[in-house]
A and B are shown apart, each in its own frame.
Chain A
Amino acid sequence: MSLKLTRRQMIEALGGGVGVVGLAGLFASISRSELHAAGLGNYAGPRLPAKAKHVIMLYMNGGPSQLDMFDPKPALFKYAGQRPSAVDLRTERTTGGLLPSPFEFKRYGRNGVQVSELLPQLASVIDEICVIRSMYTFNPTHTPGRALFHTGSVLATRPSMGSWITYGLGTENENLPAFVALGNAAGGGPQNRSGFLPTEYQGVGFAVADPDPEKIIPNLRNKNVDPAGQRTDMDALLQLNQNYSASFGTDRFLEGRIKSMESAYRMQFEALDLFDIRKEPEHIREEYGTGAFGNGCLLARRLVEAGVRYINVDYPGGQIWDDHRDVNDNLRKRCPDMDQAAAALIRDLKRRGLLDETLVVWGGEFGRTPVSESGSGRDHNPYGFTMFVAGGGFRGGIAYGNTDEFGFKAEQNRVSMHDLHATLLNQLGMDHTKLTYRYAGRDFRLTDVFGEVVKDILA
């Protein structure tokens, strides 16, 4: 049978690992060296010195405006309403004259990184943050742009970065999905797609708007019977399965499924605990905020502690950062809870000593134009936009790269999506040209045939 071994089976098959898994608590993590010794990841390239083990991707669906958050452009005031030839770049829609940002920028942190008044909380942790103001991508529309952001390709078929990373590094906790997508419960889309990688590397989606774990994980609790009664049922099942194995003979699938049943029985209760952010102290919940994004960020931290490899947190509301109109009003409403939760996550990880080993990445599929659309909005801008990374060995307190005078096009120290992917993989100990998967006759990569590690933004 072409069977993928479970992590547990692999460790056991290697001998000596039994105790590690058997004795450790369900959510206790196995150390990295043990994982590598057991060959649980599929990455076969040279091991680079790994700074990070986990990734939290804060995904701002729709394309947030860099000009109002991280990339101040005084020239927009000077030429407000005008349309110098430098801004004649084709975007999705027809655009008008230059639209200045009404938000005040100040310098923060040891290097005086400029951040707008919309993001006071992120400004307060700016020394942990590497702001990349020279991102660029290749497609001006959402769907291909989103695919490129998460998978390195505009196609609707390729595996997401979360799948690649869990494929490469394996998991630290065999009882949890290694790759989780919060706020994307229904699954699908480039946020969790495993594409041609084996299905075990698919991101498992969970809704987080309601913090009740039973709402987050469907079927988590048995509504017919109490835990003791269910134990009786599980014992009956175990007995039947053991008898069946005795009559059939040793089989990996049969053994694996028996163990998986037992894990699942225990996981019900442990997950009720792990996924319950209401068990956090009140001040922590307040720090993150109690909206869906705050919940998502807080749960992401708990999942990192439990050994989940890659967590994508969608800012709630679908393609909400797509401010074709009323960009200023919209940002005033949307930024506070985003700012609060993202900053709380960075602060909290730092306090717990987890920021060093966790990459917190923030961004959308593109940015927005300095020229206006419909007078009060901004169109999609793939030519130049801002993302940030905190932790995982990125240099904090810097703003890297520059866009042109108007914030339209990345000019200095340009960073493509592939470059960022390559750099993230580098921090996870993998050479992006060596993390490959043989499919349809060739070796595929997250970075396709592109990507350079951006050394200047690494500590």
Chain B
Amino acid sequence: MEICMPVRRVTSGLIIAAVFAWSPLFAQTTDNDFFEAKIRPVLAQKCYGCHNSKMVAPKAALVLDTREGLAKGGVSGPALVPGKPEESRLLKVLSYADPLVQMPPSGKLPESVLADFEQWIARGAADPRTSASAAAASPQYKGMSLEQGRQWWAFQPLAAVRVAETPTATFTAWPKTKIDRFVLDKLQSRKLDPSPQADRRTLVTRAYVDLLGYKPSYEEVQQFLNDRSPSAYEKLIDRLLVSPHYGERWARHWMDVARYGDDNSTSEATNPPYPFAWRYRDWMIEALNADVPYDRFIKLQLAADLMPSATRDELRALGYLGAAPMYHHDLRLSGDVIGGFLTDDWDERIDAVSRGVLGISMGCARCHDHKFDPITQKDYYALMGVFASTVRVERPTFPVDPKIERRYLWLQRQLFDMAYSVNLLGNEGTTFTDGAEKAVKWKAEVASLKAEATTLLAKYPQLVQSLEKFWNPPRRIVPPPAPAAAAAPAPAAPRSPGAAPEPPAASATAALTPASAALAPAALAPGAVPTPAAPVPPPPAARDRVLSSSDPFVNAVFEAAQYVDASDPSYTFIVYKPGEARNMPLLKAGNYAAPGAIVPRGFPAVLSKGDTAFQQGSGRLELADRIFTDAPGLAARVIVNRVWGWHFGRPLVTTPSDFGTQGDKPTHPELLDDLAARFVEHGWSLKWLNKEIMLSAVYQQSSKPRPDALQADEANALLWRQNPRRLDIEAYRDTLVRSAGVLDEQIGGLPGDLDSDTYFRRAIYGRVSRARAAQVLALYDFPEATQTAPDRDVTITTLQQIFLMNSAFIQNLAETAAKAAATATGDAEQIAMLYRRILARDPTATEMRAAIEYLQKGTLARYAQVLLATNEEIFLP
């Protein structure tokens, strides 16, 4: 590029000189007007978002909102050769003539606009902008005022949108639902035709994967193919929607957004694994099966404990907050450091709710007013107060007198922290300022808390039992003297004994090996931190009991304000005040040590109808309510867009967790609005939405490539076909296991190990570790569960193929499938049986010949493995 630049400058200089030489002045003015009328609005609307001079790193280093930027070009070189449209990269990219770079990504510009660009470049690419006016042309990137913000498309109230009668006669019969008319309208305006309906086998496969999360068996396909009634497809959808396996598919989708996990990324003493998170997962499955309205589905996850209409059983939903990712709080650290950790935790909740539910990013406002969106730092700390008044606890599944429960929950937290602290004291490797005094004082406090708990909770023995570990810590695991260690003065343990108070997983790496993962149980009881070197893992039963437990508790939250007590310069305590709420100070640059003015708890101003402030308790219930009273349009658009993406592999807004100015705009805004409005009208029913989408002609289109359409719209932004998809890892693993005939379809329960060669339950039941995802999940783009995930990547790697070629897991499945097929007589029958089991169809004559020929050299089991590894198995056309 350095070499190109001077040459180009000379060229364009010559051309501009040439233009001046023959153009009268008025022609120049006309060219400028042409730019203002035809070119600049398009650049502003379609390009500035990613290519503007205010950005630290504009995409492709190309800046289009200044004259200088446009003249300079980007990483691929000059954008323009004035006078030569055919040599101008800008036009090539806009025309979608470059297979790799096609702009704008939301869809090709209309031919008439492209013609304008061509004409503009041909006439010398006049650009009258000055630097000042360039900035003025993109005011939205300097942040938004509240008033401007309220005009933002995603925040507008919803209303059903009228759609014009389809003007063309060609496809009058094509639309099946209202959705189709929006899509057809847009396709026709770009002179594209929709694709024909997919074949029936494809339709039934799509329906099974989209609603149940695995491909149908041969028999299930046949059942549909044999139903010749006109309503066969609708009946299929209805049948699958009431299957109890529907919830397993749709809970897993939501779990990406809810960043579901069974533990923490470090799982140390104060942020141990969540033994009851699985109950939250099971609640999601049941709630989605029951088609709990989406607004209630969200409210329960935020505030089930505060909703008069919620049942005790629905406390499980609080896992959304109670099993949220969090950090270890080593109380030996200073108050500012602990305060910093707490605000990190609360920040995570704000991020999960704002991006996951509201589709806006508030994280930026932790340090300063949002630079692009109408979110202020005040809005941010108004929400932080809600989470600073919400404390993570394990709550009983059985009913308890509310007053007693509240005190119990406080006791649980207080005992946890005290037992953790006493344990630190007791460790010989740790010295403390005033250690002896502290020992006396803290032990006395534990004793007093114990006395209170045993009296208060006399009627609830299970609650007392749940606290016993705090005053009666299980004995430490003492490492047996290793032979080598006996000889050496200091044992060559992974860590020195002085490190013992660090809980086992303090070394993230150590926690990752199976042997040390087995040490995790002790981390659960804060008073019982084992010597990390302990080489003898507890028996598997003990390990499972502690990583996950079926004791009658849920990982949930309760109402209490949290403060940091730094009055002792050598030790920090967290103070919990049940029933109280805390307003956070605005933290300058996000720094806990630099508090500013107190911000009342409340709802983001730009979304509020009326007063922003919350009045009751933490404000959690008000937050949950106001999402749906004050911002129902946004909440509905966000979930409808997600559901669309889960049905199509590409959402209408391609940044599903960012509907702000930095996100993409919808490809079909009217369709999104209309569908969201009707979704709300239909009582926020997700099953209604599933069905409405699946009955559309758009959804039922073939996904086969069409050269003309690919040429015009390779990204399929216009929906000229259904998108061909790769199964996600859950659907793929479940389909593989089901193909072998060994899928255990039992619903719910404790999590298991997905990396086990013989774990045949559905993938949703695999343990989701934030420290270490199961290898099979990591291999296939499973999102990290440490933060809300907007979408999933689709990668192709050699390690995936190695897994299919050589792993014991696949070989076991292949052998199982082959064993079943071997019961048939003769090669042909056996081959046919394998095809039916694995690919859910009969082999063609050619395939049969090839397979029989293969059996001369290979075995039936190996052939089964070949079929399992096919593109056909992992692909969803």
* A interface list, Cβ under 8 A from B: 1-4, 6, 10, 13-14, 39, 44-47, 61-62, 90, 92-96, 139-144, 146, 154-157, 175, 177, 183-191, 193-196, 198-200, 202, 204, 217-225, 229-230, 232-234, 236-237, 239-241, 243-245, 248-251, 253-254, 256-258, 260-261, 263-265, 267-268, 314, 317-320, 322-326, 329-330, 333, 373-374, 377, 433-436, 438, 440-443, 445
**A377 → chain B, closest Cβ, in Å?**
5
Q: A44-B59, A156-B327 are in contact. Are A143 and B363 (CB under 8 A)?
A: no
Residues 787-834 of B contacting A (Cβ, < 8 Å): 787, 791, 793-803, 805-808, 811
Alpha-carbon distance between A183 and B494 when the two chains are bound, in angstroms: 14
Q: Is the CB of B512 within 8 A of A187?
A: yes
**Beta-carbon nearest neighbor of A267 in chain B:** B798
Alpha-carbon distance between A184 and B725 when the two chains are bound, in angstroms: 33
**Beta-carbon nearest neighbor of B514 in chain A:** A186
Q: Is the CB of B796 within 8 A of A93?
A: no
**B557 → chain A, closest Cβ, in Å?**
20
Q: Is B57 part of the contact surface with A, judged by Cβ < 8 Å?
A: yes
Q: A318-B495, A322-B495 are in contact. Are A3 and B798 (CB under 8 A)?
A: no
| Binary CB contact string for chain B from 241 to 279 against chain A (1 if under 8 A, 0 otherwise) | 000000000000000000000001110100000000000
Q: Is the CB of A436 within 8 A of B802?
A: no
**Beta-carbon nearest neighbor of B850 in chain A:** A239
- Residues of chain A within 8 A (CB-CB) of B502 are 142, 319, 322
**A95 → chain B, closest Cβ, in Å?**
8
| Binary CB contact string for chain B from 506 to 517 against chain A (1 if under 8 A, 0 otherwise) | 111110110010
**Beta-carbon nearest neighbor of A92 in chain B:** B332
Q: Is the CB of A140 within 8 A of B875?
A: no
* Secondary structure dominating the interface of A: loop
Partner pick for A325 among B99, B429, B649, CB 8 A cutoff: B429
Q: Is the CB of A92 within 8 A of B794?
A: no
**Beta-carbon nearest neighbor of A320 in chain B:** B494
- Residues of chain A within 8 A (CB-CB) of B871 are 240-241, 244-245, 254, 257-258
Q: Is B151 part of the contact surface with A, judged by Cβ < 8 Å?
A: no
Q: Is B744 part of the contact surface with A, judged by Cβ < 8 Å?
A: no
Q: Is the CB of A260 within 8 A of B492?
A: no
User: Can you name 10 A-B pairs with beta carbons within 8 Å?
Assistant: A3-B794, A44-B58, A44-B74, A93-B332, A143-B266, A154-B344, A156-B266, A157-B325, A219-B803, A318-B510
What would 20 more interface pairs be, CB under 8 Å, given A199-B781, A264-B799? A2-B794, A39-B76, A139-B337, A143-B266, A157-B784, A177-B799, A186-B512, A186-B772, A188-B265, A219-B805, A219-B808, A232-B858, A233-B863, A248-B875, A253-B875, A268-B805, A326-B496, A326-B498, A377-B498, A434-B61
Q: Is the CB of A143 within 8 A of B506?
A: yes
- Residues of chain B within 8 A (CB-CB) of A39 are 75-76, 100
Q: Is the CB of B778 within 8 A of A202?
A: yes
Q: Is the CB of A253 within 8 A of B794?
A: yes
Q: Is the CB of B705 within 8 A of A143?
A: no
Partner pick for A441 among B99, B361, B498, B570, CB 8 A cutoff: B361
Q: Is the CB of B806 within 8 A of A219?
A: yes
Q: Is B373 part of the contact surface with A, judged by Cβ < 8 Å?
A: yes
Alpha-carbon distance between A435 and B56 when the two chains are bound, in angstroms: 9
Most chain B CB inside 10 Å of its own CB: which residue of A196, A220, A236, A248: A236
**Beta-carbon nearest neighbor of B336 in chain A:** A90
User: Which stretch, B606-614, B627-635, B657-665, touches the partner chain A?
Assistant: B657-665
**A433 → chain B, closest Cβ, in Å?**
6
Alpha-carbon distance between A142 and B60 when the two chains are bound, in angstroms: 38
Q: Is the CB of B872 within 8 A of A244?
A: yes
- Residues of chain B within 8 A (CB-CB) of A4 are 793-796
Q: Is the CB of A220 within 8 A of B870?
A: no
Residues 632-677 of B contacting A (Cβ, < 8 Å): 649-650, 654, 657-658, 660, 662-663
- Residues of chain A within 8 A (CB-CB) of B867 are 240
- Residues of chain B within 8 A (CB-CB) of A185 are 512-513
- Residues of chain B within 8 A (CB-CB) of A239 are 850
Q: A44-B57, A248-B877, A253-B796 are in contact. Are A141 and B333 (CB under 8 A)?
A: yes
**Beta-carbon nearest neighbor of B651 in chain A:** A2
Q: Is B854 part of the contact surface with A, judged by Cβ < 8 Å?
A: yes
Which 5 A-B residue pairings sit nearest by Cβ, starting from the closest?
A324-B498, A441-B361, A186-B512, A264-B801, A318-B510
Alpha-carbon distance between A250 and B865 when the two chains are bound, in angstroms: 25
Q: Is B364 part of the contact surface with A, judged by Cβ < 8 Å?
A: yes
- Residues of chain A within 8 A (CB-CB) of B875 are 244, 248, 253-254
**Beta-carbon nearest neighbor of A441 in chain B:** B361
Residues 326-383 of B contacting A (Cβ, < 8 Å): 327-328, 330, 332-334, 337, 340-341, 344, 351, 355, 360-361, 363-364, 370-373
Alpha-carbon distance between A258 and B513 when the two chains are bound, in angstroms: 34
**Beta-carbon nearest neighbor of A266 in chain B:** B798
**A285 → chain B, closest Cβ, in Å?**
23
Alpha-carbon distance between A225 and B807 when the two chains are bound, in angstroms: 12
**A214 → chain B, closest Cβ, in Å?**
10
- Residues of chain B within 8 A (CB-CB) of A232 are 854, 857-858
Q: Is the CB of A325 within 8 A of B802?
A: no
| Binary CB contact string for chain B from 850 to 877 against chain A (1 if under 8 A, 0 otherwise) | 1100100110011101110111101101
Chain B residues bordering chain A, tally (CB within 8 A): 129
Alpha-carbon distance between A253 and B796 when the two chains are bound, in angstroms: 8
Q: Is the CB of B333 within 8 A of A156?
A: no
- Residues of chain A within 8 A (CB-CB) of B800 are 260, 264
Q: Is the CB of B798 within 8 A of A440?
A: no
Residues 16-68 of B contacting A (Cβ, < 8 Å): 55-61
Q: Is B724 part of the contact surface with A, judged by Cβ < 8 Å?
A: yes
**B246 → chain A, closest Cβ, in Å?**
24
Q: Is the CB of B806 within 8 A of A221?
A: yes
Q: Is B431 part of the contact surface with A, judged by Cβ < 8 Å?
A: yes
Most chain B CB inside 10 Å of its own CB: which residue of A61, A198, A230, A249: A249
Alpha-carbon distance between A245 and B865 when the two chains are bound, in angstroms: 19
Partner pick for B662 among A190, A221, A241, A441, CB 8 A cutoff: A441
- Residues of chain B within 8 A (CB-CB) of A445 are 56
Alpha-carbon distance between A92 and B791 when the two chains are bound, in angstroms: 39
**A186 → chain B, closest Cβ, in Å?**
3
Alpha-carbon distance between A373 and B654 when the two chains are bound, in angstroms: 54
**Beta-carbon nearest neighbor of B433 in chain A:** A94
Q: Is the CB of A1 within 8 A of B869?
A: no
Q: Is the CB of A441 within 8 A of B55?
A: no
Alpha-carbon distance between A436 and B59 when the two chains are bound, in angstroms: 10
Residues 55-99 of B contacting A (Cβ, < 8 Å): 55-61, 74-76, 99
Q: Is B764 part of the contact surface with A, judged by Cβ < 8 Å?
A: no
Q: Is the CB of B797 within 8 A of A44?
A: no
**Beta-carbon nearest neighbor of B871 in chain A:** A241
Q: Is the CB of A199 within 8 A of B330?
A: no
Q: A253-B794, A324-B429 are in contact. Are A190 and B778 (CB under 8 A)?
A: no
Q: A94-B432, A187-B512 are in contact. Are A6 and B268 (CB under 8 A)?
A: no
Q: Is the CB of A261 within 8 A of B801?
A: yes
Q: Is B489 part of the contact surface with A, judged by Cβ < 8 Å?
A: yes
Q: Is the CB of A330 within 8 A of B496?
A: yes
Q: Is the CB of B778 within 8 A of A184?
A: no
**Beta-carbon nearest neighbor of B867 in chain A:** A240
Alpha-carbon distance between A151 and B723 when the two chains are bound, in angstroms: 36
**B427 → chain A, closest Cβ, in Å?**
10
Q: Is the CB of B877 within 8 A of A257?
A: no
Q: A61-B509, A240-B866 are in contact. Are A440 and B658 (CB under 8 A)?
A: yes
Q: Is the CB of B332 within 8 A of A229?
A: no
Q: Is B309 part of the contact surface with A, judged by Cβ < 8 Å?
A: no
Residues 724-752 of B contacting A (Cβ, < 8 Å): 724-726
- Residues of chain B within 8 A (CB-CB) of A268 are 802, 805-806
Q: A225-B862, A250-B705, A374-B429 are in contact. Are A204 and B850 (CB under 8 A)?
A: no
Alpha-carbon distance between A200 and B799 when the two chains are bound, in angstroms: 11
- Residues of chain B within 8 A (CB-CB) of A265 are 801, 805
Alpha-carbon distance between A233 and B862 when the two chains are bound, in angstroms: 7
Q: Is the CB of A156 within 8 A of B496?
A: no
Q: Is the CB of A93 within 8 A of B431?
A: yes
- Residues of chain B within 8 A (CB-CB) of A191 are 509
Alpha-carbon distance between A203 and B7 when the two chains are bound, in angstroms: 42
